Amino acid sequence: MALILPAGFPAVEHLKAEHISIDGPFPGPFSDPFFDIMGEQKRPVRIAVLNLMPMKVTTETDFVRVFADFPYLVRLDWMKVESHVSKHAPAGHMERFYRNFSEMQGEHYDGFIVTGAPLEQMEFEEVTYWEELQRIFDWAHRSVASTLYICWAAQAALYHFHGVRKYAVPEKIFGIFPHRQLHPECPVFSGMDEVFLVPHSRHTTLRREDILAVPELTLLSEGDVPGVHLVMAGDGREFFVTGHSEYAADTLDNEYRRDVSKGLPIALPQNYYRNDRPADGPLLSWRTHGQRLYRNWLERYVIARNFQEHA
């Protein structure tokens, strides 16, 4: 199915090299509910993405790759914070493809995604846009059927809503790690194996006892090395994901080589390179489960809820 993206969006050209084509957009007008009695989709699923990552185009491409695989018409709208200017993205790119939260908060969105950010070694209150971010979190809780908070954003949202702290780890959690389902009956795991692989790249972690101490939270999956992986609030209003199932095959390789070139202390990403040799390249082992996780969120918690509201 097609994705609705801004004209000239760079991710479209990047994905052509992977033989992924982005059709559409389809002409309007659109109306509620999502589907007619024949099962034909009548309007796009609207997802807002607050992209806090410094390398904007890389992150955009990751998410376009994910949603291009689904049999739904999806519109992705890109949000930025007003109280911070990205140092790594050209101003023209931000002006052309992104809008401020203040411009978007009055519109209807079915789902919301907040990406990670390289801020995990700072206290949340030290982040220059923390107050604005908290307003965005509260807006999403009131206005959107379901929100995915990823990596640092998961830690930030858990702290904001539930007072859950993050903790520094002695060695970076870096690589591809197995995770086990703790609640396989949860629809977010539909069609997934009980053990699945997820990329991680972070210097902080969450403690399972802190999650279990909050009645509104359910710990859905974890791994021996990365610890807490997927947490759900209530019946799926929010999901907090500490890993990066959307990552491209070469993302950890790029991070590793970047740090090596800077002379920073960095270990090989675990379970990532063929034969543990960077020269042999990475082994892509997580994409199938990653795609399934995002599709289950979209179908079971975004589309289903909005359909019920308008049926």
Q: Name the nearest CA neighbour of 221 among 247, 272, 173, 184.
A: 184
Can you read off the two tokens belonging to residue 215?
A: 């009645």
Amino acid letter, residue 272: Y
| Catalytic annotation, residues | 151, 244, 246
- Give the number of C-alpha atoms closer than 13 A to the C-alpha of residue 88, restricted to the C-beta side: 11
Q: Name the nearest CA neighbour of 220 among 133, 300, 139, 142.
A: 300
Q: Name the nearest CA neighbour of 192 among 259, 286, 102.
A: 286
* Beta-sheet strands, E only, within 5-50: 45-50
**Sign of CA pseudo-dihedral 171, 174, 180, 185:** positive
Helix (H, G, I), strand (E, B) or coil at 177: strand
Spatial CB neighbours of 140, under 8 Å, sequence gap ≥ 6: 112, 114, 147, 238
Cross-strand pairs, 167: 205
Please state, in angstroms and rounded to a whole number, the distance separating the CA atoms of residues 51 and 101.
11
Amino acid letter, residue 261: S
Please state, in angstroms and rounded to a whole number, the distance separating the CA atoms of residues 295 and 293.
6
CA distance from start to end of the chain: 23
Helix (H, G, I), strand (E, B) or coil at 37: coil
